[in-house]
C-alpha cells in the first residue's frame, strides 16, 4: 500500500528536470516536499498524477501503474497552482462535478469550510481572486474521498488568518480520517510542525529523504570563535556557514565526531527545518555571500 516513484527522469527541451528519482509515499502520513524554485516539485507531482508523462521511469500505486488507470487516479487528488477548472463554472457546480467523478465527496464539510473561509459558492471560478481560488481548491482537496492528497503551494495568496485556518482544518481532517498528504511549499516554517517525513529536491535529485525528527537530530548549528569552530567541525559534513562579528557558525548535516571534545567556547544546537533546507540548497555563490 503505497505510491512508488521508480527511476523517474524528466527532460524538457534537452534540460534535465528530474534525474533518476526514487521515492515512496506511504499511507496515512503527512509529507513535506521541499525544493527551491524550479527544482522540479510541480513536475514530480504532475507525473505522479499522470498529468504529464515521465521521460523514463514508472509511478505505481499499490503495485499498479497510475498511467491511464482510472482506479489508481481515483485515489489521488492533486491541488495544483495551475487552474484546471472551467472559468465560467460556479463553485457549487464544481463541487458537484467533483462528486460526479470522485464519488463520496463530503459536501457537508465543503459547505462548512466554504462558510468558514468566506467563499461564495454561487460565484463563478473566474471571478475569484487568487486567494479564493486557492481556498476553493483546498476545500476540494480536504473533502475529496482519496487516499493521497498532493498540495502544491497550498497557501498561495492566502492571508495569515486563512493560512492558520487551513492548517487547523488539515490537522482536524487528518485526525478524523487519516490519509496521505504531501505538501509542497516554500513556507517551511509554517509546515515544519505538521509534516512527519520530508523530501528535499535539489539539483534534480532527492537530497534528503527521512523522518523529520531523524533529519533534525543529525542537523547541527555549531557556533563560536572561528578558530574553535573550524577545529571542531574539521572533517564533518559542513553544509553552510555564517559569520557575524567575531562569531562563526558552521551548519553540519550528519554525525558529529563523538570522540572529539566540544570546546567550552563552542555552542552546539540543532537546526530547524528551514535553516537546514536553506543550507542544503544554497548555491556556492549564495553560500559565499554569507561568508563576509
Q: Of 53 and 178, which CB lies nearer to other proteins in the complex structure?
A: 53
Q: Does 104 bind other proteins (CB under 8 A)?
A: no
Q: Would you say 222 and 233 are in contact if contact means Cβ atoms under 8 Å apart? A: yes
Distance CA 50, CA 77 (A): 11
User: Smaller CB distance to other proteins: residue 42 or 282?
Assistant: 42
CA-wise closest residue to 268 among 230, 226, 228, 223: 223
Task: Verify binding: residue 38, other proteins, rule CB under 8 A.
Answer: no
What's the DSSP call for residue 250? E
Smallest gap from residue 199 Cβ to other proteins (A) = 22
DSSP conformation letters of 26-47:
-SS-EEEEEE-TTSSHHHHHHH
Contact call for residue 85 and other proteins (CB under 8 A):
yes
The CA distances from residue 13 to 43, 55, 58, 154, 204, in Å, are 14, 11, 20, 28, 15
Q: Does 178 bind other proteins (CB under 8 A)?
A: no
158-160-166 Cα angle (round to 5): 65
How many residues in the shown chain lie near other proteins by CB under 8 A?
A: 27
Min dist CB 203 to other proteins, Å, is 21
Instruction: State yes or no: residue 102 binds other proteins (CB under 8 A).
Output: yes
- Give the nearest distance from C-beta 47 to other proteins in angstroms: 10
Q: Enumerate residues 252-281 that contact other proteins by CB under 8 A.
A: none
Here's the x/- map for other proteins, 112-151, by CB under 8 A: it reads as ----------------------------------x-----
First CA to last CA distance, the chain: 50
In the block, which residue shows the cell 509511478?
A: 59
User: From edge to edge, which strands make up the β-sheet containing 148-152?
Assistant: 76-79, 148-152, 180-184, 30-35, 197-202, 205-211
* Residue with the three cell numbers 515521465: 54
51 binds other proteins (CB under 8 A): yes
Q: Tell me how far, at minimum, the Cβ of 232 lies from other proteins, in Å.
A: 46
Cell of residue 99, nine digits: 462528486
- Binding segment toward other proteins, per CB under 8 A, in 48-56, 149-157, 178-186, 193-201: 48-56
Answer for which of 8, 32, 34, 98 binds other proteins (CB under 8 A) is 98
Contact residues for other proteins, defined by CB under 8 A: 46, 49-53, 68-70, 73-78, 80, 82, 84-86, 97-98, 100-103, 146
Amino acid at each position: 500500500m503505497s505510491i512508488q516513484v521508480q527511476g523517474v527522469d524528466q527532460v524538457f527541451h534537452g534540460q534535465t528536470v528530474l534525474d533518476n528519482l526514487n521515492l515512496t509515499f506511504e499511507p496515512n502520513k503527512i509529507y513535506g516536499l521541499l525544493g527551491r524554485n524550479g527544482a522540479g516539485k510541480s513536475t514530480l507531482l504532475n507525473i505522479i498524477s499522470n498529468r504529464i508523462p515521465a521521460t523514463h521511469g514508472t509511478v505505481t500505486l499499490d503495485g499498479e501503474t497510475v498511467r491511464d488507470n482510472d482506479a489508481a487516479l481515483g485515489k489521488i487528488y492533486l491541488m495544483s497552482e495551475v487552474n484546471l477548472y472551467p472559468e465560467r463554472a460556479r463553485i457549487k457546480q464544481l463541487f458537484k462535478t467533483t462528486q460526479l467523478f470522485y464519488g463520496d465527496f463530503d459536501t457537508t464539510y465543503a459547505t462548512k469550510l466554504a462558510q468558514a473561509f468566506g467563499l461564495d459558492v454561487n460565484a463563478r471560478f473566474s471571478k475569484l481572486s487568487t486567494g479564493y481560488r486557492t481556498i476553493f481548491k483546498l476545500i476540494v482537496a480536504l473533502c475529496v474521498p482519496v487516499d493521497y492528497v498532493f498540495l502544491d503551494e497550498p497557501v498561495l495568496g492566502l492571508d495569515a488568518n486563512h493560512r492558520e485556518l487551513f492548517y487547523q482544518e488539515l490537522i482536524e481532517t487528518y485526525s478524523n480520517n487519516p490519509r496521505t498528504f504531501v505538501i509542497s511549499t516554500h513556507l517551511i516554517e509554517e509546515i515544519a510542525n505538521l509534516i512527519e517525513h520530508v523530501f528535499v529536491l535539489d539539483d534534480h535529485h532527492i537530497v534528503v529523504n527521512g523522518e523529520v525528527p531523524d533529519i533534525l537530530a543529525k542537523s547541527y548549528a555549531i557556533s563560536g570563535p572561528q578558530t574553535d569552530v573550524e577545529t571542531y567541525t574539521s572533517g564533518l559534513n559542513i553544509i553552510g556557514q555564517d559569520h557575524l562579528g567575531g562569531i562563526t557558525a558552521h551548519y553540519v548535516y550528519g554525525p558529529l565526531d563523538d570522540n572529539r571534545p566540544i570546546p567550552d567556547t563552542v555552542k552546539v544546537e540543532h537546526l530547524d527545518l528551514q535553516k537546514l533546507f536553506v543550507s542544503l540548497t544554497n548555491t556556492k555563490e549564495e553560500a559565499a555571500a554569507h561568508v563576509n
